[in-house]
């Protein structure tokens, strides 16, 4: 993945906590890709896997919107 264009494009990502509160963040394409890479290199157990999977799907959808 190329991080060259990270400064030119940004995205809003909504994250829900366990209390269902929402936070809106503005992230560049490069930042989104960095998060995906970090999640891909991490180790998760049990119940964490489903929530991490859902987060990865959201991050990938936001990256696709920026292409």
- Asked whether residue 46 is domain-assigned, the answer is yes
What total of structural domains would you count in the chain? 1
For helices 48-65 and 29-41, angle between their N-to-C axes, nearest 10 degrees: 150
Average pLDDT over residues 24-40: 94
Structural domain boundaries enclosing 30:
10-65
Residue 30 lies in a domain: yes
Of 21, 25, 22, 26, the closest CA to residue 7 belongs to 26
Residue 29 lies inside a defined structural domain of this protein: yes
- Has residue 50 been placed in a domain? yes
pLDDT band, very low/low/confident/very high, at 5 (cuts 50, 70, 90): very low
Buried b (16+ CB within 10 A) or exposed e, 28-58: bbbbbbebbeeeeeeeeeeeeeeeeeeeeee
Q: How far apart are CA 9 and CA 44, in angstroms?
A: 30
28, part of any domain: yes
pTM of the predicted structure, to 2 decimals = 0.65
């Amino acid at each position: 993945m190329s991080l060259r264009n990270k400064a030119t494009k940004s995205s809003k990502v909504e994250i829900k906590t366990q209390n269902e509160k929402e936070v809106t963040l503005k992230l560049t394409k490069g930042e989104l890709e960095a998060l995906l890479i970090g999640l891909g290199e991490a180790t998760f157990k049990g119940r964490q896997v489903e929530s991490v999977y859902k987060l990865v799907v959201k991050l990938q959808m936001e990256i696709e919107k920026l292409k």
